[in-house]
């Protein structure tokens, strides 16, 4: 979905595509270009398969939240595409609501709970969808760490403005001053995440750990370099230590 919005579609195609995702109806598929149809059909089919599986345990209500989180990602991508199409640099207050959703992390935090047992309830999903502090901190941290290490490469390929651009324009500072300010906010956001483990929340510890583990992945991939786009030794070794050469359990 990200590549469709960033690299392949025209703005006019994206208007139709976003509307189709909002409708979430296979009857929309004929309105889309062929390459979009492949993705759209797969997206709806995968979610249908998940719903069929978790319905066996009476948990099909969870799919509503998965769909809504995916629709939110599409809306955020479209907002960023609109800024790019118009050559517009938003304020930080305009940028962040869309940019933290476009990380995909609010969606990943949601869909990672679909197959969990009875520890996850409808109230847990409502907590996620009501601007939970730990999720907001995690996704904002992701956005800043991503922008800090990817901005130069993204600009070379004609990408939407990032938090660095928005901060520089809004506050009239240099690029280095913007980087320093965002790096400081990353440190403060880690404090917000840690704070959520020190007091009772509406979500069980297992759910908080899901969000924390997703944040740890960001810290691995984007600390000092874009380890997602350019996978190098550190990331390869970490993956190997977990899945290829794990420490044996005695």
Helices (H), 157-227: 163-171, 175-196, 205-222
Instruction: Assess contact for 237 and 139: CB atoms under 8 A.
Output: no
Q: In angstroms, rounded to a whole number, what is the distance separating the alpha carbons of residues 166 and 176?
A: 13
User: Residue 40 is encoded by which pair of tokens?
Assistant: 């759209």
* pLDDT tens, residue order, the chain (250 aa): 999 998 899 999 999 999 999 999 999 999 999 999 999 999 999 999 999 999 999 999 999 999 999 999 999 999 999 999 999 999 999 999 999 999 999 999 999 999 998 999 999 999 999 989 999 999 999 999 999 988 766 666 656 789 999 999 999 999 999 999 999 999 999 999 999 999 878 889 999 999 999 999 998 888 877 777 777 888 888 889 888 887 777 6
**pLDDT value at residue 156:** 61
Residue 146, classed as helix, strand or coil, is helix
Phi, psi angle pair for 113, to nearest 5°:
-95, -5
**pLDDT value at residue 154:** 63
Residue 115, classed as helix, strand or coil, is coil
Q: DSSP state, 108?
A: H
Residue 162, classed as helix, strand or coil, is coil
Closest CA relative to residue 161, chosen from 225, 70, 85: 85
The rounded radius of gyration (Å) of the Cα atoms in the chain is 19
Residue 232, classed as helix, strand or coil, is coil
**pLDDT value at residue 104:** 93
Domain topology for 2-243: Farnesyl Diphosphate Synthase (1.10.600)
User: Residue 53 is encoded by which pair of tokens?
Assistant: 């599986």
Closest CA relative to residue 43, chosen from 6, 99, 11, 4: 4
- Cα separation of the two ends of the chain: 43
Instruction: Assess contact for 1 and 74: CB atoms under 8 A.
Output: yes
Angle at 226 between CA 83 and CA 169, to 5 degrees: 35
User: Residue 76 is encoded by which pair of tokens?
Assistant: 């955020």
**pLDDT value at residue 153:** 63
Helices (H), the chain: 2-3, 11-23, 34-55, 62-86, 92-101, 105-111, 122-129, 133-156, 163-171, 175-196, 205-222, 233-243
Instruction: Assess contact for 104 and 184: CB atoms under 8 A.
Output: no
């Amino acid at each position: 979905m990200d590549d469709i919005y960033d690299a392949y579609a025209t703005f006019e195609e994206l208007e139709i595509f976003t509307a189709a995702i909002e409708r979430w109806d296979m009857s929309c598929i004929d309105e889309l270009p062929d390459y979009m149809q492949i993705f759209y059909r797969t997206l709806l089919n995968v979610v249908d398969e998940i719903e069929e599986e978790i319905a066996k345990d009476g948990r099909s209500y969870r799919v509503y939240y998965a769909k809504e989180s995916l629709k939110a990602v599409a809306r955020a991508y479209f907002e960023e595409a609109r800024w790019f199409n118009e050559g517009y640099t938003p304020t930080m207050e305009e940028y962040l609501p869309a940019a933290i959703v476009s990380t995909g992390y609010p969606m990943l935090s949601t869909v990672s709970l679909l197959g969990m047992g009875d520890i996850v309830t409808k109230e847990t999903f409502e907590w996620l969808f009501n601007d939970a502090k730990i999720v907001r901190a995690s996704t904002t941290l992701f956005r800043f760490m991503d922008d800090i290490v990817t901005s130069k490469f993204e600009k070379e390929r004609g990408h939407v403005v990032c938090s660095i651009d928005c901060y520089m324009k809004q506050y009239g500072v240099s690029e280095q001053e913007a980087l320093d300010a965002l790096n400081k906010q990353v440190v403060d956001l880690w404090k917000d995440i840690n704070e959520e483990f020190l007091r009772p929340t509406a979500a069980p510890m297992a759910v908080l750990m899901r969000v924390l583990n997703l944040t740890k992945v960001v810290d691995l991939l984007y600390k000092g370099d874009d380890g997602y786009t350019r996978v190098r030794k550190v990331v390869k070794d970490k993956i190997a230590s977990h899945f290829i050469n794990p420490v044996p359990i005695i």
